[in-house]
Homo-oligomer: A and B are copies of this chain.
Amino acid sequence: MDIAFSPDELAFREEVRAFFDEQFDDELVARLRSDNFKEAICEWQQRLHKKGWIAANWPVEYGGTGWSPTQKYIYETERSERGIPGVIPFGIGMVGPMIYQFGTQEQKDKFLPGILESTTWWCQGYSEPGSGSDLASLKTKAELDGDHYVINGAKIWTSYAQYADWIFVLVRTSNEGKKQEGITFILVDMKSEGIKVNPIISIDNEHSLNEVEFSDVRVPVENVVGEVNKGWTVAKALLAHERTGIADVAQSKRNLRLIKQAAEEEVNGGKRLMDDPGFQARLADLEIELMALEFTELRTLAAMSAGGFPGPESSLLKIKGTELQQATQELRMETAAYYQGVLPNDMDPEVLGHSWTHEAFRNYMYGRAATIYGGSNEVQKNIIAKYVLGLE
């Protein structure tokens, strides 16, 4: 039982720090906040790729980093501490692993390079207007017509569909058997005729979500990943991948640090907020839960490195991690007092109040989705109850 970093691991940490200090420069930060978000984030990912650090979870043979759990932990800690965005998940985190796990050699050759090089932007077609937690009830239909599938239906909550070159979609190819049977995982070019992207404005007044409509969209049969009608296997594997890292302890730690910084400046009746015992108590309770969660994550990482794979236990990280993210975001909002309510607009936030309150607002609002997506926390509890506790 030991958590001391080895000399090699300490050296790795130095390398990560140096890389971030040099490559995540002010100019890039400014561009990430501008309208050119897509271009800027892709450029950042290309810098990571050049360094060989784009695919922490991939096997080395496909271009992964080959990092140990400790290295992943070090990398993520340093990244989040600096507020550096994570890799956009849809390519590297989601469809990539499905392609190298379930895809044909042709699919690997065709799609993996664009994912690694961040030249192809992917999005996810899972949920439907009628199917939320009950994913398997999906109705988007793909009918065989010669060597093409013809897709009709609609997907919803598709992040960044407006940027996407490709979408991976769960479609119904058969109505026979249980609802989980007859589902197929297929890759669709967003430029195909019949695709329409309808923006959804979320409660943060931003446009990142979309509905994607399919009207007689023709897709070649060779775009099916895995077996036809066996897409549920792929879907489940992807969800388990999605859950790892979702706890995002490092991000919550950063938020707590920023809260403390703000609370040292914020004053009420001449007294610093930071000196208010009620404020301190709430901060302490969050820090304490987070200290524990960090080690829960480390224990999971250690277990995985001992030959495991993200199992139902990752559901625990998802539930607790998102709960703490939201609690932290909430405290940050309250630290802003009245200014929490200022809607981000074109004016300099400093003119209106504080410089950091817009970030607090956006994080809080965007964070509301964290307990819903990737399998809602209720579904995660069902998974733990069934597969870990053995309750039926």
Contacts and interface: CB of A to CB of B under 8 A. Distances in A.
Interface in A246-279: 277-278
Nearest to A282: B281
5 contacts: A277-B277, A277-B278, A277-B281, A278-B281, A281-B281
A392 B236 CA distance: 31
A269 to B, nearest CB: 16
Contacts of A277: 277-278, 281
Contacts of A281: 277-278, 281
Interface string A275-299: 0011001000000000000000000
A277 B281 CA distance: 9
A277 B278 CA distance: 7
A97 B277 CA distance: 52
Nearest to A277: B277
A277 B277 CA distance: 7
Nearest to A280: B277
A277 B279 CA distance: 11
A276 to B, nearest CB: 9
A281 B277 CA distance: 9
A271 to B, nearest CB: 13
A278 B277 CA distance: 7
A334 to B, nearest CB: 16
Interface string A361-391: 0000000000000000000000000000000
